[in-house]
Amino acid sequence: MKTGDLVSEVKAKAQMWLDGNYDQKTKEQIQNLIDHDEKELIESFYRDLEFGTGGLRGIMGVGTNRMNIYTVGMATQGLTNYVKQNFKDLPQIKVAVAHDSRNNSRLFAETTAHIFAANGFKVYLFESLRPTPELSFAIRYYGCQSGVVITASHNPKEYNGYKAYWDDGGQVIAPHDKNIIGEVMKIRSVDEVKFKGGDSNIEMIGDAFDEIYTDEIKKLSLASDVIARQKDMKIVYTPIHGTGVKLVPQVLRKLGFTNIINVPEQDIADGNFPTVHSPNPEETAALAMAMDKGRQTDADIVMATDPDADRVGIAVKDNQGEWTILNGNQTAAILINYLLAKWSEKGKLKGKEYIVKTIVTTELLAEIAAQYKVPCFDVLTGFKYIADIIKKKEGGMTFIGGGEESYGYLAGEFVRDKDAVMACALIAEAAAWAKDQGKSLFDLLLSIYADYSFYKEDLVSVVKKGKEGSEEIQQMMKNFRSTPPVAINGSAVVKIADYQSSVIKLVQEGKVEKIDLPASNVLQFFTEDGSKISVRPSGTEPKIKFYVSVCSKLPSVAQYQAVDAQMKARIDGIKSDLGIN
């Protein structure tokens, strides 16, 4: 579309808001954009927000491409219409609604709840901010048909989002996600949204439900005797101004840990996240204050959850005594190794258990599972696909645990989304288990590398904001498909997996295999030396991600530093070759 045509289209959409049933403040903001900021006007109206891998997510503000009560309202009415179609025979449709600590989250949650209620649904609305996984649990506990949590997870403060869930407690997947979009698109005016009425259909839920949820997490504990011996292990925890502030310490104490050290400045729920640039536990800076507290107190472990408490970042002392942040793959390996070891020790492995990981997560998890003769299923990136596997296997096989490299983990089957409250409890338990053997958590990681293989991974996110950035990302993927690399860092590419066309190409054999997963815009390149490079645009953020993985044998723990340096050099070479340093 030509620039002039785009501007005309955008102004026409903006005029519809000026003429429509919108509040005066919104209209004044739109007029200001028309008069003074054409670029922001375009960004605000050039498209409608769409459901991606995490649902609806965007920058807060006025316009069709922004998070506001009207885009939230239209999304909710569309979701409502679709839920009604799918559960038309039920005498009472039930939904649950929760929110995080972000600016406007309570407003958006109440807006969502009131629309559901006005449409005749029974609504369970959390009385205040709560972790996303507790919303998943609430859907299952109350027998709901759907649910929504207002959150933008770990995104910067200007973002907010809207995650839609189905009756199994998992985020919506195909065909529901596309069908919901279809229903939303049918709503051409906010006048079609039922914003008011039916308030008596809303039931507030609070502390009593927290007890039910945390009691379920406690049942996952596998080493109460170990915790009893290591109960005073020093645990530093920060919610980074988010929803974990209450429940993570609560569940740690419920398991028996007594020495939980907080970071007072970050215990304040605040959508501006004043002590961090970004509340993302994947980033070193977000854990800086907690790590300082760890140094001051000589802690055993530092844990930090993101604003909606579905992801957790871990920091520990390495074998040189220096504090270091574990990446998501390392934490997943520690957690899965612990779960499988304890399940085996307790005689709980009966041959029908399994774990799940995403295609971009470390292959070390599959190696560990194979040692215990436990199947490891691969799914597309996005925890909703892990939830889908659990749903499909329910009753026939038992889910032990699973995770993804982006700091999301889950155990048990009563929650169907990544759960940092649960993960904090089990990771702390794994740390106590290691300490009971005279090891640190880092020592335990090195022993896993020595027992299996040493995998080292890196993630490079290339940010491309706005409409132009989105087009540039699309072009990058097209280029990789039309002209794939023949070799990377001097090692021949032997296999290319294209999840969009659901085909694996075995380069040297000239053969093609089918991928039995839903289509997704992901490419993977496998090289002769065992490296794996995955490329995918983010479904929730304006970026394209490169996941780089190399592996080697670790002959002994004593050789860790030398082998680690060699593997780092390989990763640097791959990044240089791909031009993503």
Cβ atoms of residues 415 and 169 within 8 Å: yes
Nearest one of 409, 406, 306, 305 to 356, comparing CA atoms: 409
Write out the chain's pLDDT in tens, 581 residues.
456 789 999 999 999 999 999 999 999 999 999 999 999 999 999 988 776 555 688 999 999 999 999 999 999 999 999 999 999 999 999 999 999 999 999 999 999 999 999 999 999 999 999 999 999 999 999 999 999 999 998 888 999 999 999 999 999 988 898 888 889 889 888 999 999 999 999 999 999 999 999 999 999 999 999 999 999 999 999 999 999 999 999 999 999 999 999 999 999 999 999 999 999 998 999 999 999 999 999 999 999 999 999 999 999 999 999 999 999 999 999 999 999 999 999 999 999 999 999 999 999 999 999 999 999 999 998 899 999 999 999 999 999 999 999 999 999 999 999 999 999 999 999 999 999 999 999 999 999 999 999 999 999 999 988 878 888 999 999 999 999 999 999 999 999 999 999 999 999 999 999 999 999 999 999 999 999 999 999 866 689 999 999 999 999 999 999 999 999 999 999 999 999 97
Task: Identify the structural domains of the chain with CATH numbers, from first to last.
Answer: 1-46 (no CATH), 51-205 (3.40.120.10), 214-219+230-451 (3.40.120.10), 455-578 (3.30.310)
Handedness of CA 556, 401, 130, 67 (dihedral sign): positive
Buried b (16+ CB within 10 A) or exposed e, 442-464: bbbbbbbbbebbbbbbbbbebeb
Backbone angles phi, psi at 209, to 5 degrees: -75, -30
- Tell me the whole-structure pTM to 2 decimals: 0.93
- Tell me the CA distances in angstroms from 189 to 19, 83, 84, 107, 373, one per residue in order: 11, 20, 20, 20, 55
Q: Is 532 exposed, middle or buried (0-12, 13-18, 19+ CB in 10 A)?
A: buried
As annotated, the active-site residues are 153
Helix (H) / strand (E) containing 98: strand 94-99
Spatial distance between the Cα atoms of 527 and 515, rounded to a whole number of angstroms: 19
Can you spell out the DSSP letters for 277-289? S---TTSGGGGHH
Beta strands in 100-170 (DSSP E): 122-126, 146-150, 159-166
Q: Token pair for residue 555?
A: 């002959």
Q: Read off the DSSP letter of residue 169.
A: S
